[in-house]
Every structure is written in C-alpha cells, then in structure tokens.
Amino acid sequence: MDRFREIELFVHVAEAASISRAADVLGLPVSSASRHLSMLETRLGVRLVHRTTRSLALTEVGMEFYRRCKDVLSDLGEAEAVAKDAVGNPRGTLRITASLSFCLLHIEPLLPAFNKAYPDISVDIIAANQYLDVVENNVDLAIRTREFEADSNLTIRKLAVTKRVLAASREYLSTYGMPVIPEDLTKHKMLIYSYANNPNELPFEKGNQKVIVNLNPSLRTNDGQIAINAALHGMGILAQPKYAIYDHIENGELITLLNDWDLPRLTMNIAYQTRRYLPNKVRVFVDALTDHFLRNDFERRWS
C-alpha cells in the first residue's frame, strides 16, 4: 500500500472509529486494513490509535495527524475537481442538505430544469431539520434559515430575509377566537416547532414595546410540515417562517394573526465550505437557486 492509500485508510478509520467499517468502504479485508494501519504507525514511529477489543480512539498525535491528512485529501480532491472541470461539463454528485420544507418548496421544483441543463450532475438531497456539519457529512451545499450565521469556516451567500408569522385556520379561529395581544396566546392551542430558537418563547416587538410570551404547546414537533398540517386541520396556532406557509396564506387556508407585532426575522443562506476553488457542480446550482429567488422576488413577498 502506497503512502496515499495509507493516509486514506487512516482517515476512514478515524471518521468511522472502526477498522472494519473503514475496510468496508475501501474494499479491503479487515486483516489487511489492520496490518496497513500498524505499518503506518511503525513507519511514523508513533501510536495513532488506541485499540481495544470493543473500542477505537485516536491518540493526541493521531488527532493532529488526522486533521492534517484530512486537509491533504481535501486538497487532492479539489485538484482533481479543477482538472475535470477544465475539460468538461460540471459533473459528479452534488450533496445538498436543507429542511424538508425548503426541499419541497424550492429545491425539488428546480431539479427538472437543472437536470436537463446539467445531466452529468447527480443530486443527493439530505432533508434534515437540524443543521448538519458540512465538512463531517461531506456536504457540498447547505441551506440554513436562522437569525444569524456564526460558522467562520463556511462561505455564506444570502438568499432572502423572511418574517416569522403567527397563523391559524378559519375553523380554529371560529371555535377559539382571535388573539388581540401577544399575551392572549397563553390561552390558545399552540403548535410549536421544536428546533426553533427557544421554541417555547415568542419575543414580540412593536415600536419600543417588547413582550416575551411563554408557551405551553398543545403540539410540539421537530418538522415544520407536521405543524403546518396540524394548523390546516384546525388544531391550533403556529409560528413559522412566512416562506413555509406563504401559499397557504395566499389561498386563504391560513389567516395571519397579530400582524402589528414582529417576531425576529430569519435569514435564508446558502452555506458551503470556504475554499480557493469552488467546484463547478456547486457553482452552477448556487447560480440556479439564486436566480430562482431573484426572479420570484421572494424577499419582498416574505418580508
């Protein structure tokens, strides 16, 4: 095994915390993978991995070696991508992660035209309502909707700002009445998205007035689509980014509430690894998604 393959094996072992899983990925017998890892340690003159019959963990030296090896493999992958992009159309697998709501509303509808324009790009969509680590999960592009973006290792490109709004169905409001002030929400059935920032609190503002309402939800869920469907079925009041329920508001299925009060707005961002070279497969999708948002003037609609 050459030095590159040794490094590749070690990185897979470190990330999987398992020699057998790393061997699986690389198509090696477990005995060969174990032997090559030992040979790497012998060549370097250091122990990289603590091994027992039940667990595997990196030593302090192993952690530093892993970080540097990961960078080497990343640079090599980038160099190969540069070479391939220079001689052909964008190609390869594009891994995208976003919330289920965003995937349904804004990624899936783009795919037919995108696939037609770039047939050599295979799209792998990971619908996840919690933010996946872009580097650890080998993600090319992530869509994040939050009050701020603090990860300095990512390049951030703004898509739009969206209001958060309260809404309920006519059926619910006819039964339980319409809240007039934020404090009225404590008497209503609330449908809460559990991954929101401080989900059981709603911080309202109107001019110089600030009110924080503490909620005791009748439904709590980690998926916005469940909360939206519950609201459509008359089960309560939800607080959601306007982008996620815009069509339901426009067609009258949901009625917005307390419109003279504001909740903290959210910024929708495209996030991808900061690197000297942006692979063409990422660049063309970023351009397509950005153009989609500009053509539809979403920020004006949602804010």
50-84: per-residue pLDDT in tens?
887 777 889 999 999 998 888 888 778 767 766 66
| pTM of this structure | 0.69
Closest CA to 133 of 97, 94, 92, 81: 97
**Which helix (H) or strand (E) element contains residue 202?**
strand 201-206
Q: How many CA atoms lie within 13 A of 180 on its CB side?
A: 0
Residue that the structure tokens 């508001």 belong to? 249
Going by pLDDT thresholds of 50, 70 and 90, the confidence category of residue 186 is: very high
| Domain 1-84 shares a fold with domain 90-157+269-300 | no
Close Cβ partners of 84 (under 8 Å, ≥ 6 residues apart): 91, 92
Four-way CATH pick for 1-84: 1.10.645.10, 1.10.10.10, 3.20.20.80, 3.40.430.10? 1.10.10.10
Taking domain 90-157+269-300, whether its CATH number is 3.40.190.10 is answered by: yes
Percentage above 70 pLDDT, the chain: 94
The H or E element containing residue 298 is helix 298-302
- Residue 121 has what pLDDT? 93
- The least confident of 68-77, 153-162, 222-231 is 68-77
Task: Given CATH 3.40.50.300, say whether it is the number of domain 160-264.
Answer: no
Q: Domain limits of the chain?
A: 1-84, 90-157+269-300, 160-264
* Cβ atoms of residues 272 and 156 within 8 Å: no
Between helix 19-26 and helix 3-16 the angle, nearest 10°, is: 130
